[in-house]
Amino acid sequence: MNKSQHTHKQAGFSMIEVLMALVVVGLVLTAVAGMITNSMETRADARYRQVANEIAQKFIEQCRREQAIMKWSDFISQSDHECIAKGPVSEPLIGISFNKVITVASTSTPPETYTVNVDVTWSTGRNGGTEEESLEVSQVFTNRN
């Protein structure tokens, strides 16, 4: 037996095997990074929607309190109580600005109703900061007198 025949055995990986392994690892890491990014965006969207819902529900609860302590005629008058405040109101929370717009519709036919719509919008920061989302909450108040 010749000594040179035993020394030419393959002792490691070829360059092509190493390159293919790197390509596979790179593809897997790219997919994982995409999933993490998508998960973070979904988590942020859920948090923003939760805060928007809290803003709207807090306002509706304030209207319920006002209805409970006021007479119907005072409640539906558009004087100086907060439940009638119209126009956008900005509430900066968690590093993002939420705009609240309140619209009111009322009927004078029995039973008298008073509908408060709260539309909360915010910018998601995507597409150069131009993409907006919104959440609308509506509550109907009825004259119980």
Predicted confidence at residue 80, as pLDDT, reads 46
Q: Is residue 80 part of a domain?
A: yes
Does residue 56 lie within any of the structural domains? yes
Q: Which regions of the chain does DSSP assign to beta strands (E)?
A: 89-93, 96-107, 113-123, 132-142
The answer to the question of residue 28 being in a domain is yes
- What's the domain range around 105? 14-142
pTM: 0.68
In terms of pLDDT, which residue wins out, 39 or 4? 39
2 domain residue, yes or no: no
Q: Are 99 and 89 in contact (CB under 8 A)?
A: yes
pLDDT in tens, 77-92: 754 445 555 555 666 6
pLDDT-derived band at 20, boundaries 50, 70, 90: very high
pLDDT tens sequence across 98-120 = 787 777 777 777 778 888 888 88
Count of domains forming the chain = 1
Query: Could you tell me if residue 108 is inside a domain?
Result: yes
Place of tokens 């919104």: 134
| Residue 90 belongs to some domain of the structure | yes
Q: Does residue 125 lie within any of the structural domains?
A: yes
**Domain assignment of residue 7, yes or no:** no
What are the phi and psi torsion angles at 117 (to 5°)?
-110, 130
